[in-house]
Structure 1
Amino acid sequence: MKKIAHLLFIGALCLSACSKQDKSNTDQPSPDSNQEAPAGKVRRCATGEVLKQQLLDDPTLAQRMQNIEKLTEEVTRNRALFRLLPDGSIEIPVVVNILYRTTAQNVALSQVESQITALNQDFNGLNSQYNTLPPIFDAVKAAVGVHFRLKNVVRKSTTVTTWGTNDAMKKSSQGGINPTTPDSVLNIWVVGGISGGVIGYAQFPGGSPATDGVVIAYDCFGTNGTAAAPFALGRTATHEVGHWLNLRHIWGDANCGDDLVGDTPRHNTANYGCPAYPHRSTCTGTPIEMTMNFMDYTDDACMAMFTQGQKTRIDATFLPGGGRNGFAH
């Protein structure tokens, strides 16, 4: 079991942006990754520029995040602090904001709905792989009990070919779409392209409401239409919504790092593609890595689970002071 240390929260938060790398990409790996990404189309972490810039722009952000982390530690120690809604779940209304330059980027309603379905399956242990996971993880796998409901789709034509990671897509003054009531609605922006090959990024609890939500590239969104393998099962959004609900990467963004969850094995670094089971870490105890966890970087087809510890971290966000309390009413 890993010791949860609230003083690590800033370092573990610094890498929420996820990217894909094609074979022709010659960029060096992120300094926070200790393993070269394999050739081909894979998930890969971008730099920590999104959060780092937010911390620079807002001197009060670090303290808000630290307060959320302290609350999360309290809930981890005492689950009785958290009380579920009467039906045993949290419902999260979702507004999908589509910024399109081409007809293909103006994703169809059926594709939007397929993403909502994928989120509901993944967060509730209803995907097809959940009951076929290695038995070693049966005791810790979790149906989180969070449900998603499509509230609205907002569409806007744009001349922008590639968006940056400076949240311009979230601001009408910069050609984007302002978020809809972010204190009680999850906003997802679907865009035609993001610089640096990024396919998605999220904002952690505690950030500015004006930029709160998740950004996903149109060809990594949903399970039909323009969604393209190996990111065609909607799990880019599952991963990023995990960040939005205060989950870290499973390898803790460091060699044998800490994701602040007690029931996930220590990972050397990110895993890519579909590693053969069992894939052992060289960290202390050489544990079998949980490569099928949604917070690793494996392909969509090889992701399938959250853990009880990750569920606890998510639950804590819905308490007063947790950053997502507006969704618990």
Structure 2
Amino acid sequence: MQIIKSKFTRIALLLILVHSCSKNENPQVPENDIPIGEEVFRVPVVVHIIHSGHEAGEENNLSDERVIRQIEILNEDFRRKPGTRGFNSHKDGADSRIEFVLGRQTPDGHPFNGINRVDTTGIKVDVLGYGPNHFAQYAYWNPEEYINIWTTPVPRSTECLALGIATGPDIDIPGVEHLAIPQAGDAEGILISWMHFGESEIDCHAKLGRTLTHEMGHYLGLLHTWGGADCEFNDYCEDTPAVDTQVFGRTSFPGCTGEMVQIENYMNYTHDDVMNMFTKEQAERMRYVLLHHPGRNLLLRSKALKNP
């Protein structure tokens, strides 16, 4: 029997047992035919480019090439791919074995490249604040078949100020109270400022596509490394050194126990060119969410992964 080493793994095992015992009491949780071991989980995304009437490739109507490159970066980071910025040699660094695929068909079954362009010119919607509920008025696809990602047409004056937002999963793992959990009727997904989506030449530390990596971590249940800013209960991953304050910049510093904080972790606010690491326990946590959150689990079987 494998020794259970981590705090999160012990909690996850308990939750797996609870799910197993109550399967008949919760019929909406699907049977899992995907093992928790080495299987690579493939997850479909749709990128809704919310733009203000520009031609494709101009201003906030981002080019196909930039979107495709952003998804490549996301996979380089989540798969810890050698020869890319997403690789690291840290002893606790992990290949999450999670990959993201631009949806291959629309909800009604037509061939699709994963990019949905929406011209907001002349469209009036309710002002619902800067969040998924607002942008879902322009486009929102079934979140059990696609991860909805919106590139938002914010003004250039917000460069390096408004980066990204993600909703989190409502699931029984510790710390979810620190995530943005949608309420009944709310939309879920990820917002990324168009200026910070993919690689760009903007004058900002966040220009290499890591904003989406960070926000996807939240979407799959990861906390910031400091969690609730409590040395004992921070991000519930023991292989990220405890820290009780936000982590910015590119220079490490001693955390709660004197151990240097993991400056390179994607779940900090550090510079894009410094980030290159998810840990083994962070990968466990994300995979647990994909296996046991009803909606996230259905993504693994989405028709959007297949050609129509």
The alignment status of 1:240 with 2:181, answered yes or no, reads: no
Q: What is the CA distance between 1:324 and its match in structure 2?
A: 1.1
Q: What does 1:83-162 align with in structure 2 at a 5 Å threshold?
A: 83-84=34-35, 88-101=39-52, 103=54, 104-126=59-81, 128-129=84-85, 131-133=87-89, 137-138=90-91, 140-151=92-103, 152-158=114-120
1:143 is paired with a residue whose SS is coil
Q: What is the CA distance between 1:3 and its match in structure 2?
A: 4.9
Maintained 8 Å contact 2:221/2:286: yes
Deviations 1:71-117 (A, max 9, x none): 576359xxxx9953898211111100011126300011011001100
User: What count of residue pairs does the alignment treat as equivalent?
Assistant: 249
* In 2: Cα distance, 1:323 partner to 1:259 partner: 23
Code of the aligned partner of 2:199: T
For structure 1, the 5+ residue unaligned runs are 7-69
1:142 is paired with a residue whose SS is coil
- CA distance change for structure 1 residues 157 and 233 in 2, over 3 Å: closer, same or farther? same
TM-score (ref. length: structure 2): 0.70
Maintained 8 Å contact 2:87/2:277: no
RMSD over aligned Cα, in angstroms? 3.4
Q: What is the CA distance between 1:202 and its match in structure 2?
A: 0.5
* In 1: Cα distance, 2:15 partner to 2:295 partner: 15
Code of the aligned partner of 1:291: I
* In 2: Cα distance, 1:85 partner to 1:110 partner: 34
Code of the aligned partner of 2:153: G
* In 2: Cα distance, 1:111 partner to 1:143 partner: 24
When you count helix as a share of all residues, which structure comes out higher?
1
- CA distance change for structure 1 residues 125 and 73 in 2, over 3 Å: closer, same or farther? farther
- CA distance change for structure 1 residues 192 and 269 in 2, over 3 Å: closer, same or farther? same
1:188 — aligned with what?
149
Maintained 8 Å contact 1:82/1:316: no
Maintained 8 Å contact 1:84/1:90: no
Which of 233, 237, 240 is the matching residue for 1:261?
237
Q: What is the CA distance between 1:181 and its match in structure 2?
A: 1.8
* In 2: Cα distance, 1:109 partner to 1:222 partner: 11
Maintained 8 Å contact 2:78/2:86: no
The alignment status of 1:202 with 2:176, answered yes or no, reads: no
* In 2: Cα distance, 1:73 partner to 1:201 partner: 30
Maintained 8 Å contact 2:226/2:246: yes
Matched-pair identity in %: 29
Deviations 1:262-307 (A, max 9, x none): 21111131221211x5x322x1x21111110000110111100101
* In 2: Cα distance, 1:122 partner to 1:237 partner: 10
For structure 2, the 5+ residue unaligned runs are 18-31, 104-113, 171-181, 302-308
Q: What does 1:24-103 align with in structure 2 at a 5 Å threshold?
A: 74=15, 83-84=34-35, 88-101=39-52, 103=54
- CA distance change for structure 1 residues 149 and 131 in 2, over 3 Å: closer, same or farther? closer
1:201 is paired with a residue whose SS is strand
The alignment status of 1:280 with 2:242, answered yes or no, reads: no
Q: What is the CA distance between 1:184 and its match in structure 2?
A: 2.2
- CA distance change for structure 1 residues 145 and 287 in 2, over 3 Å: closer, same or farther? same
Q: What is the CA distance between 1:171 and its match in structure 2?
A: 2.8
Maintained 8 Å contact 2:169/2:221: yes
* In 2: Cα distance, 1:82 partner to 1:264 partner: 31
The alignment status of 1:211 with 2:187, answered yes or no, reads: yes
1:289 is paired with a residue whose SS is coil
Q: What is the CA distance between 1:321 and its match in structure 2?
A: 3.9
Q: What is the CA distance between 1:320 and its match in structure 2?
A: 3.8
Which has more radius of gyration?
A: 2
* In 2: Cα distance, 1:232 partner to 1:252 partner: 25
Structure 1's consecutive aligned runs of 4 or more residues displaced over 6 angstroms after TM superposition are none
2:269 is paired with a residue whose SS is coil
Maintained 8 Å contact 2:131/2:165: no
Deviations 1:47-90 (A, max 9, x none): xxxxxxxxxxxxxxxxxxxxxxx7576359xxxx9953898211
